[in-house]
Amino acid sequence: MSERESPANVHALAPKSHNRARHTRIRSALRGDAQPFRVPLAITPMIDVTFLLLIYFLLTTNFAIDEKHFRTALAPEDLTAMGSGLTLEQDPLRIQLSVGRPPRLLGPYRQPVDEIDLERFLSDALAIDGRTNALFRSDHPILVVPDSDVPWDHVVVVFDAIVRSGYTSVGFASP
């Protein structure tokens, strides 16, 4: 090994531009203003692992068919203690919807001729500010009972009329 190739002179063999760049990086690192080292982020393997985990959990999960059913049977002594706690205090007002016919109130009420008349009837029947002829409070249950062939937009129009009238407990029931 010649003197020029000895380990002490290894830096002398490197190109001058490489040495200058190396010394510049070292100097700026000592001063504290060096650019941080940038490690390239390989995201493709992370996506691969994510999809593999997703497939693994989908294949190993046991979806039970009857998982949505919960047993809610009460002991006989609990049923007697509850009394009639499961019944409504008031019978709900049922509004029947049929294709080509105006909404029909089930019960001894004046029948509306259209949705606007239904809204007017419900607004007049709402108990507010000491009204003496009121039939219902704002939390009185109202059930909309559409026939199976009634278009959804007709059901929404009736629902909106009920809510605009001031009622807060509105539900849907099957005929």
Condensed to tens digits (0 to 9), the pLDDT of residues 4-22 reads 555 555 555 555 555 666 6
Q: Which domain holds residue 107?
A: 93-172
Residue 166 lies in a domain: yes
Q: At 2, give phi and psi (nearest 5°).
A: -80, 165
Residue 46 lies in a domain: no
Using one digit for the tens of pLDDT, what is the confidence trace for 113-166? 898 888 888 888 887 776 667 778 888 888 999 988 888 888 888 999 998 888
* Cα first-last separation, the chain: 102
Residue 134 lies in a domain: yes
Instruction: Give the pLDDT mean for 101-116.
Output: 87
pLDDT, residue 108, reads: 83
Residue 129 lies in a domain: yes
Cβ burial 83-119 (10 Å sphere, 16+ → b, else e): eeeeeeeeebbebbbeeeeebbbeeeeeebeebeebb
pTM over 0.75: no
Using one digit for the tens of pLDDT, what is the confidence trace for 24-69? 666 666 666 656 666 778 889 999 999 999 999 999 987 766 555 5
Q: How many domains does the chain have?
A: 1
Q: What is the CATH number of the domain that holds 154?
A: 3.30.420.270
Which residue(s) pair with 26 in the sheet?
A: none
pLDDT, residue 152, reads: 86
Residue 140 lies in a domain: yes
Residue 145 lies in a domain: yes
Q: At 50, give phi and psi (nearest 5°).
A: -60, -45
pLDDT, residue 106, reads: 83
Residue 101 lies in a domain: yes
Which region, left, alpha or beta, applies to residue 5 given φ > 0 means left and ψ of -120 to 50 means alpha?
Answer: alpha
Residue 131 lies in a domain: yes
